[in-house]
């Protein structure tokens, strides 16, 4: 029989866990709200032709274009990463393979979250481009060309959503000691995607910021929804920094933290 002091000692732990879960849900919603506001602000500044932003965009485009013209080997490397490694088709294919793997593992809801986040993010980006209809940079000596409208950057947005999906799904199956490395690779890749698009002269700096903000808003909203579902289903609470579904790790005690 459990003693009264022991039972009372457990109750604060439960309440603390509930409070942490609520904070995480609120944090996800706050991130989504901040990202959406940032995107909306950028959109207003772009549409109004705000002079300081136009000057920043133009200055960055000219400076990076000169660097690209002076260093053709460097430009070739940027093209390889932008058009092959970090191309939206490549990243979406990686997410599609991940989603199929989740279906194979019978992680149905996580597979649905992955698919909805990727597809919803892509459609949102296309819709935003159509609404804004911003022209791409027109440089005297371009080193690359891209079709379609400019704001927001599809590469930047796809990079944000795709690497977020890969991280939040796969972190539970990665040993704790390697998780900081995975976070670092993902962060550098997202930054790299944006840099290559500006350096190649096919996007303005504000296009990339808009893509990152909109992608972050999509991931935060869908991640918040998934966490809310876990709460409704009575499943263990998760640490967002360690993945969305700890149960995916199986029985490896080093690959996942305790679900309270």
The full 3-state SS of the chain, as one line of letters, equals CCCHHHHHHHHHHHHHHHHHHHHHHHHHHHHHHHHHHHHHHHHHHHHHCCHHHHHHHHHHHHHHHHHHHHCHHHHHHHHHHHHHHCCHHHHHHHHHHHHHHHHHCCCHHHHHHHHHHHHHHHHHHHHHHHHHCCCCCCCCCCCCCCCCCCCCCHHHHHHHHHHHHHHHHHHHHCCHHHHHHHHHHHHHHHHHHHHHHHHCCCCCHHHHHHHHHHHHHHHHHHHHHHHHHHHHCCCCCCCHHHCCCHHHHCCCCCCCCCCC
Is 145 marked active-site? Answer: no
Active-site pick, 51, 71, 145, 155: 155
Catalytic annotation, pick one of 51, 145, 203, 260: 203
- 155 counts as catalytic: yes
Active site residues: 155, 203
């Amino acid at each position: 029989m459990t003693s009264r002091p022991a039972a009372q000692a457990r109750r604060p732990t439960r309440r603390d866990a509930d409070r942490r879960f609520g904070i995480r849900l609120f944090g996800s919603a706050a991130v989504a709200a901040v990202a959406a506001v940032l995107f909306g602000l950028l959109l207003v500044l772009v549409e109004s032709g705000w002079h300081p932003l136009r000057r920043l965009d133009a200055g960055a485009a000219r400076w990076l274009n000169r660097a690209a013209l002076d260093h053709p080997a460097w430009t070739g490397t940027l093209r390889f990463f932008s058009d092959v490694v970090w191309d939206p088709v490549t990243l979406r294919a990686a997410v599609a393979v991940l989603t199929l793997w989740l279906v194979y593992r019978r992680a149905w809801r996580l597979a649905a979250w992955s698919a909805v986040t990727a597809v919803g993010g892509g459609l949102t980006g296309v819709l935003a481009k159509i609404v804004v209809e911003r022209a791409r940079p027109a440089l005297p000596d371009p080193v690359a060309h891209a079709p379609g409208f400019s704001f927001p950057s599809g590469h930047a947005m796809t990079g944000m959503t795709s690497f977020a999906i890969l991280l939040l799904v796969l972190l539970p199956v990665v040993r704790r000691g390697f998780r900081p490395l995975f976070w670092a690779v993902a962060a550098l890749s997202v930054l790299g995607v944006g840099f290559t698009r500006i350096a190649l002269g096919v996007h303005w700096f504000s296009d990339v910021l808009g893509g990152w903000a909109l992608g972050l808003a999509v991931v935060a909203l869908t991640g918040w929804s998934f966490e809310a579902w876990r709460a409704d289903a009575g499943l263990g609470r998760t640490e967002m920094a360690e993945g969305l579904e700890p149960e995916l790790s199986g029985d490896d005690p080093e690959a996942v933290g305790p679900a309270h």
